[in-house]
């Protein structure tokens, strides 16, 4: 579901409200429709309903493994081309973009200009 104003749509999964400041910054840097869900089990239905241009996942999903959520999106025929950004506070070898098959991985603290640039790039391609 795209809006009449042609704004790009971003779906954010934030299990424990750690991403709220990032969402505020995204809204500051760009004119997007941002949809937020706190339930990892509902993100697929939400994504299929709103057909986002970009998905941002919180690395720490507590009940679900971020890697599995990301891979499930990439295996879904309807959603496989939606770019995914993972945001994490951990600087470990496990937290690498290629291991999650995501399109970008950012470690907090975020450089919002770099993140905003990457968001624009991913949604344009």
pLDDT at 88: 79
> What are the residue ranges in the chain where pLDDT is below 70?
1-5, 16, 18, 60-65, 90-100
pLDDT at 60: 64
Chain-centroid distance, C-alpha 118? 12
Cβ-contact 74, 54 below 8 angstroms: no
pLDDT at 97: 54
pLDDT at 64: 56
pLDDT at 3: 47
């Amino acid at each position: 579901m795209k809006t009449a104003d042609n704004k790009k749509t971003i779906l954010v999964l934030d299990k424990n409200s750690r991403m709220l400041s990032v969402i505020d910054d995204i809204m500051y840097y760009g004119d997007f429709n941002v949809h937020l869900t706190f339930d990892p089990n509902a993100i697929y239905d939400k994504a299929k309903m709103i057909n986002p241009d970009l998905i941002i996942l919180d690395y720490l999903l507590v009940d679900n493994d971020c890697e599995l959520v990301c891979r499930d999106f990439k295996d879904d025929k309807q959603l496989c081309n939606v770019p995914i950004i993972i945001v994490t506070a951990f600087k470990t070898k496990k937290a690498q973009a290629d291991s999650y098959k995501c399109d970008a991985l950012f470690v907090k603290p975020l450089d919002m200009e770099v993140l905003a640039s990457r968001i624009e790039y991913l949604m344009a391609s």
